[in-house]
């Protein structure tokens, strides 16, 4: 069954999973390389956990196939797949000590306690849990529980480790330090990580590649850079990072890689990332706040007169909201650059480069994340 | 991390109970008073009664140990006590074996109609105790369901007489009576086991059998013990079933106590026997409480 030549370690082919009347996973195709840190990112209920459970074998797809190292495992039950999972709430066996929890997967492989002992000690050392062997899950902290779950999933030395929001229950500082721990483990052991998260910062900082999901659909698969700077859909643009959206009509298409969009009678030159757009189409124009300059010193192709409507101090920078007609554009200005004498109501010029602006068909507006 | 390691667990964020604040004691007084009236006083009265003695048709006020000594001296009492113990043990064990698969399948395997099945198993509790016992007489009797079926099939010519009026009939009926009481705590314990733990076991390489042995079974031990304890105590003290179905050979301790308070008119002896039964039940409760404390691990 094994096809040694396959260069993909994990492959999902046209996988669909339907629960009653909702499509949890809709025709997903994912290919993951060995040793890759791959994230499934999306809001809650987008199907990322279901996708992970399908890879683990805990859920059977209604359609499509799952391949592990080239072999079709679609019908192989979970306990016979060489993948292990770190569950969202850790799922540590409450009636077993930390040591016995980590021993469990080895016990299932009929490895004696004597033989398993050095492996258990090694993995507990790896996650910095030495001295906790005899504790029960109710006797350790949240962060330690997370590490017990990781140790238990790693002791079998799986080729692929699946992590379902492993840091979701931890507070911010602990989460950041655990991100580092997990990333180090992944690099040192050279294991493929498939990481489910709704935290875009986590996905962007840790991953080699990210699949962005919404309502069971994969919107984009790419490196963090591609996802951030070249979002494929308005949903990705709205979900990842901060984004300004303006609505307008295509006024002209001056060249194959630029479009001119009319927003409130002002023409904005944009990068033509969607080649299917034609004249007079309704579009969404998106610009990252950090790409918007207030009173720019350099000459920019898009410059608009606007009025400051809000200034928010954010520590290392200011978020300045400027209004023209009915449109609002937020801009992030570095603390050192910002002219502190500026006040709400002042008239300023705002500008940006066409390369930093994407356009999406207006039909994508309904998929966007709306934070009220 | 080092400093965390040294902290003993009980020192970290010690929980304050309701009774930690002095004022909370006042809140407890009505409950203690209530317990005193309805539970503790009757037991003490019974204990005192067990030390008094029957003199003719009167009960003397002098406290002696004679009732207890009489029980120990008479082999028939000890024999019936041991028999009651044995029958109760058999009935509660059988009830566990009968309830476990039911509870397991209803709580973990069936998705639709779970509540209906649960109610069906509990339903006998709504029917009169006596009616259910008489029903068993109709099943086990000479012209009962089993005998008439076997005779109609031509498997036997004479009705089987060993079905009724003996210890077998008592044990079977006690098992039947105990099943709902075992089922409820078992079902609750099984249902409370998080699905995630079972997923984790499967994910870590355990097949269904190993998941059951290593995860499900240990986690429902508290429910198992509670069910066993309930069945055992119900069976140990019962006197209606042995009276109706036990015949002479199926008599249990409850019957003797009943007769001491009735025909024999020897209340002190009956009280002494009753107190022995009470003590056995109390010891069993204490033991199950000790093992049942493992519960704390799952529902911290």
pLDDT value at residue B19: 53
Q: Does residue A134 register a pLDDT over 80?
A: yes
Mutation for testing the A interface, residue in B13, B193, B203 having most A CBs under 10 Å? B203
List chain A residues with CB under 8 Å of B291.
Answer: none
Q: Does residue B283 register a pLDDT over 50?
A: yes
Can you tell me the mean pLDDT for A93-113? 94
User: Is the residue at B54 inside a domain?
Assistant: no
B5 contacts A77? CB cut-off 8 A: no
User: Is the residue at B25 inside a domain?
Assistant: no
Q: Where in chain A is the domain with CATH 2.40.50.140?
A: 241-367
**How confident is the model over A348-361, as pLDDT tens digits?**
999 999 889 999 99
Q: Does residue B281 register a pLDDT over 90?
A: no
Parallel, antiparallel or unpaired: strands A83-86 and A160-164: parallel
- DSSP-derived letter for residue A241 is S
Residue B230's CATH number: 1.10.3720.10
The answer, for A84 touching chain B at a CB cutoff of 8 Å, is: yes
A84 contacts B204? CB cut-off 8 A: yes
Residue B110: domain span:
72-298
Share of chain B above pLDDT 90, in %: 52
pLDDT value at residue A102: 96
pLDDT value at residue B3: 42
Shortest Cα–Cα distance, B3 to chain A (Å): 12
Which tops the pLDDT comparison, B8 or A46?
Answer: A46
B203 contacts A84? CB cut-off 8 A: yes
Parallel, antiparallel or unpaired: strands A37-41 and A209-214: parallel
Q: Does residue B269 register a pLDDT over 90?
A: yes
User: Is the residue at B6 inside a domain?
Assistant: no
B210 contacts A108? CB cut-off 8 A: yes
Residues 137-166, chain A: which have Cβ within 8 Å of B?
137-139, 141, 152-153, 156
Mutation for testing the B interface, residue in A19, A68, A73, A94 having most B CBs under 10 Å? A94
B296 contacts A108? CB cut-off 8 A: no
B297 contacts A138? CB cut-off 8 A: yes
Can you tell me the mean pLDDT for A222-250? 92
A87 contacts B206? CB cut-off 8 A: no
Parallel, antiparallel or unpaired: strands A8-19 and A22-33: antiparallel
Q: Does residue A45 register a pLDDT over 80?
A: yes
Give ipTM to 2 decimals.
0.84
Shortest Cα–Cα distance, B185 to chain A (Å): 19
pLDDT value at residue A272: 82
User: Is the residue at B23 inside a domain?
Assistant: no
For domain A241-367, give the CATH number. Answer: 2.40.50.140
B202 contacts A79? CB cut-off 8 A: yes
The answer, for A55 touching chain B at a CB cutoff of 8 Å, is: no
pLDDT value at residue B9: 45
Shortest Cα–Cα distance, A71 to chain B (Å): 18
C-alpha distances out from residue B252 to A130, A189, B80, B173, Å: 57, 68, 6, 14
Averaged confidence pLDDT in chain A: 90
Q: How many CB pairs under 8 A join A and B?
A: 81
User: Is the residue at B266 inside a domain?
Assistant: yes
Helix pair A98-108, A142-154: axis angle to 10 deg: 20
DSSP assignment of A137-170 equals GGGS-HHHHHHHHHHHHHTT--SEEEEESTTTTS
List chain B residues with CB under 8 Å of A53.
Answer: 199
pLDDT value at residue A154: 93
Q: Does residue B249 register a pLDDT over 50?
A: yes
pTM of the model: 0.81
CB B160 within 8 A of CB B143: no
B218 contacts A91? CB cut-off 8 A: no
B297 contacts A95? CB cut-off 8 A: yes
Give the model's confidence band at A245: pLDDT under 50 very low, under 70 low, under 90 confident, else very high.
very high
pLDDT value at residue B293: 56
CB A260 within 8 A of CB A270: yes
Q: Where in chain A is the domain with CATH 3.40.50.300?
A: 8-236
Phi, psi at B294, each rounded to 5°: -60, -20
**How confident is the model over B78-125, as pLDDT tens digits?**
999 999 999 999 999 999 999 999 999 999 888 888 889 999 999 998
The answer, for A110 touching chain B at a CB cutoff of 8 Å, is: no
Q: Does residue A370 register a pLDDT over 70?
A: no
User: Is the residue at B42 inside a domain?
Assistant: no
The answer, for B207 touching chain A at a CB cutoff of 8 Å, is: yes
A139 contacts B9? CB cut-off 8 A: yes
**How confident is the model over B12-39, as pLDDT tens digits?**
444 455 555 666 678 888 888 998 999 8
- Widest pairwise Cα distance in chain A: 77
Sign of the CA dihedral with A54 first, then A59, A65, and A68 last: positive
User: Is the residue at B3 inside a domain?
Assistant: no
Shortest Cα–Cα distance, B194 to chain A (Å): 8
List chain A residues with CB under 8 Å of B5.
Answer: 131-132
Q: Which of B9, B204, B215 sits opposite A152 (nearest CB)?
A: B204
List chain B residues with CB under 8 Å of A104.
Answer: 201, 204, 206, 214
From B294, which residue of chain A is nearest by alpha-carbon distance?
A95
Distance CA B84, CA A338 (A): 90
By the 10 Å C-beta count (0-12 exposed, 13-18 middle, 19+ buried), A334 is classed as: exposed
Q: Which of B1, B197, B205 sits opposite A79 (nearest CB)?
A: B205
pLDDT value at residue B286: 86
From B209, which residue of chain A is nearest by alpha-carbon distance?
A108
pLDDT value at residue B145: 87
Mutation for testing the A interface, residue in B201, B204, B298 having most A CBs under 10 Å? B204
pLDDT value at residue B12: 43
B199 contacts A132? CB cut-off 8 A: no
A87 contacts B200? CB cut-off 8 A: yes
Averaged confidence pLDDT in chain B: 86
Shortest Cα–Cα distance, B115 to chain A (Å): 21
- DSSP-derived letter for residue B4 is H
Phi, psi at A256, each rounded to 5°: -70, -20
- Residue B59 parent element (H or E): strand B58-60
The tokens of A120 are what?
A: 């258990």
Mutation for testing the B interface, residue in A60, A84, A91, A181 having most B CBs under 10 Å? A91
pLDDT value at residue B210: 95
- Secondary structure class of A265 (helix, strand, coil): coil
The tokens of B165 are what?
A: 């009026």
Residues 169-188, chain A: which have Cβ within 8 Å of B?
none
The answer, for A77 touching chain B at a CB cutoff of 8 Å, is: yes
Record: fold of A8-236: Rossmann fold (3.40.50)
Distance CA B76, CA A53 (A): 64
Which tops the pLDDT comparison, A233 or B18?
Answer: A233
The answer, for A105 touching chain B at a CB cutoff of 8 Å, is: yes
Edge-first strand listing for the sheet containing A83-86: A83-86, A160-164, A192-197, A37-41, A209-214, A217-222
List chain A residues with CB under 8 Å of B4.
Answer: 141
List chain B residues with CB under 8 Å of A80.
Answer: 205
CB A361 within 8 A of CB A245: no
**How confident is the model over B182-239, as pLDDT tens digits?**
999 999 999 999 999 999 999 999 999 999 999 999 999 889 998 999 999 999 989 9
Domain count for chain B, please give it.
Answer: 1
Q: Does residue B10 register a pLDDT over 50?
A: no
pLDDT value at residue B265: 87
List chain B residues with CB under 8 Å of A137.
Answer: 297
Shortest Cα–Cα distance, B6 to chain A (Å): 10
The answer, for A136 touching chain B at a CB cutoff of 8 Å, is: yes
User: Is the residue at B271 inside a domain?
Assistant: yes
pLDDT value at residue B132: 92
The answer, for B159 touching chain A at a CB cutoff of 8 Å, is: no
A87 contacts B199? CB cut-off 8 A: yes
């Amino acid at each position: 069954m094994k096809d040694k030549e396959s260069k993909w370690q994990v492959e999902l082919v046209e996988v669909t999973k339907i629960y009653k009347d909702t499509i949890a996973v809709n025709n997903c195709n994912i290919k993951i390389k060995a040793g890759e840190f791959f994230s499934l990112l999306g809001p809650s209920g987008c199907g990322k956990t279901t996708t992970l459970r399908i890879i683990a074998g805990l859920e059977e797809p209604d359609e499509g196939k799952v391949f592990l190292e080239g072999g079709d495992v679609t019908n192989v039950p979970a306990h016979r797949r060489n993948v292990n999972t770190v569950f969202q709430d850790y799922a540590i066996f409450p009636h077993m000590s930390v040591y016995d929890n980590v021993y469990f997967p080895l016990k299932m492989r009929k490895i004696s306690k004597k033989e398993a002992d050095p492996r258990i000690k090694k993995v507990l050392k790896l996650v910095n849990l030495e001295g906790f062997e005899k504790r029960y899950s109710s006797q350790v902290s949240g962060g330690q529980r997370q590490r017990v779950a990781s140790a238990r999933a790693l002791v079998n030395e799986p080729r692929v480790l699946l992590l379902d929001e492993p840091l979701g229950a931890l507070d911010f500082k602990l989460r950041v330090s655990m991100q580092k721990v997990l990333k180090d483990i992944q690099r040192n052991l050279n294991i493929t990580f498939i990481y489910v998260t709704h935290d875009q910062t986590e996905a962007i900082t840790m991953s080699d590649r990210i699949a962005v999901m919404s309502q069971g659909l994969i919107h984009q698969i790419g490196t963090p850079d591609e996802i951030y700077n070249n979002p494929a859909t308005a949903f990705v643009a709205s979900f990842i990072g901060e984004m300004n959206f303006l609505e307008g009509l295509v006024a002209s298409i001056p060249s194959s890689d630029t479009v001119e969009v009319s927003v409130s009678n002002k023409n904005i030159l944009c990068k033509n990332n969607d080649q299917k757009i034609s004249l007079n189409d309704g579009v969404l124009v998106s610009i990252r706040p950090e790409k918007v300059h207030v009173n720019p010193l350099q000459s920019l192709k898009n410059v608009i007169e606007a009025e400051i409507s809000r200034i928010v101090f954010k520590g290392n920078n200011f978020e300045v909201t400027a209004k023209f007609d009915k449109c609002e554009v937020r801009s992030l200005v570095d603390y050192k650059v910002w002219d502190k004498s500026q006040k709400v109501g002042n008239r300023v010029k705002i500008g940006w480069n066409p390369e930093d602006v994407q356009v999406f068909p207006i039909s994508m507006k309904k998929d966007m994340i709306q934070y009220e | 991390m080092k400093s965390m390691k040294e902290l003993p667990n009980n020192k970290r964020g010690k929980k304050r109970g309701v009774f930690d604040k002095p004022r909370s004691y006042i809140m407890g007084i009505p409950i203690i008073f209530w317990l005193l009236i309805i539970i503790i006083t009757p037991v003490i009265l019974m204990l005192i009664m067990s030390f008094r003695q029957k003199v003719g048709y009167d009960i003397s006020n002098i406290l002696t140990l004679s009732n207890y000594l009489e029980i120990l001296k008479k082999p028939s009492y000890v024999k019936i006590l041991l028999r009651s113990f044995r029958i109760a043990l058999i009935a509660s064990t059988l009830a566990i074996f009968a309830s476990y698969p039911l509870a397991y399948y209803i709580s973990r395997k069936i998705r639709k109609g779970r509540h209906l099945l649960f109610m069906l198993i509990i339903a006998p509790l709504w029917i009169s105790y006596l009616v259910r016992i008489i029903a068993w007489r109709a099943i086990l009797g000479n012209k009962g369901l089993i005998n008439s079926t076997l005779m109609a099939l031509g498997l036997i010519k004479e009705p089987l007489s060993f079905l009724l009026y003996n210890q077998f009939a008592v044990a079977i009926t006690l098992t039947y009576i105990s099943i709902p009481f075992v089922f409820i705590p078992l079902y609750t314990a099984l249902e409370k086991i998080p699905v995630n733990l079972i997923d984790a076991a499967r994910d870590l390489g355990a097949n269904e059998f190993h998941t059951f042995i290593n995860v499900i079974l240990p986690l429902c031990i508290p429910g198992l013990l509670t069910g066993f304890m309930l069945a055992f105590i119900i069976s140990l003290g019962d006197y209606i079933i042995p009276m109706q179905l036990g015949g002479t050979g199926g008599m249990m301790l409850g019957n003797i106590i009943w007769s001491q308070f009735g025909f024999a008119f020897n209340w002190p002896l009956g009280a002494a026997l009753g107190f022995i039964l009470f003590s056995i039940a109390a010891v069993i409760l204490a033991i199950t409480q000790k093992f049942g404390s493992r519960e704390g691990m799952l529902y911290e």
